Structure 1
Amino acid sequence: MFAPSIKEMGFTDFVVREGFCSIRLPMNDRLRFFSGAVCGQALMAAIDTAASIATETTARPGKGAVYQHTHFLRPAANDDFRIKATMRRFGKQAPMSIAA
């Protein structure tokens, strides 16, 4: 269901129910910059994956991400990440979910 690069990220601890998905992204040195901060692209991929799964559990499965907007408050480093996505509502053409 997902690209090999997404599978290689090693997501674990899936919690899935209608309109919701939570996954854990284990800390991985391959996802870090030399400074120790985790690459934002990896975090965005994790967010997109959780949001996609949450959307697919509803009566109106989506067709993929058409827009993502993220605020990075500080560099993420040195721990696993828990990503939670919740379906908020459906628009005329696309679903809207929020992830943290």
Structure 2
Amino acid sequence: MYAVIKTGGKQYKVAVGEVLRVEKLNAEVNTTVELTDVLLVSNNGEIKVGTPVVEGAKVVAEVVAQGKGAKVVNFKYKPKTGYHRKKGHRQLFTEIKVTAINA
């Protein structure tokens, strides 16, 4: 059984027991979250596709960790003018473990 969910502007294919990193969710560690934007559910070959979401379907997940990703450096440079700018960014993420898919 698997589902396709949408969170943080991205889509993920998830199955029970899977651990994945999504955009930051406002939830504490060791709490459960319900993701209701379920776009597709497959159960033993039977596929339900939503328009745009499957009615009554939700994915229950446990928050494993909150954190920051690797640093991405943005460096701008123009020769012969003395112009350079350096900026860094670390994207926030939430690591979740899927515990149940309710269709």
Fold similarity call, TM over 0.5: no
Higher helix content, 1 or 2? 1
The structure with the greater share of residues assigned to strand is: 2
TM-score, normalised with respect to structure 1: 0.30
Rg larger for: 2
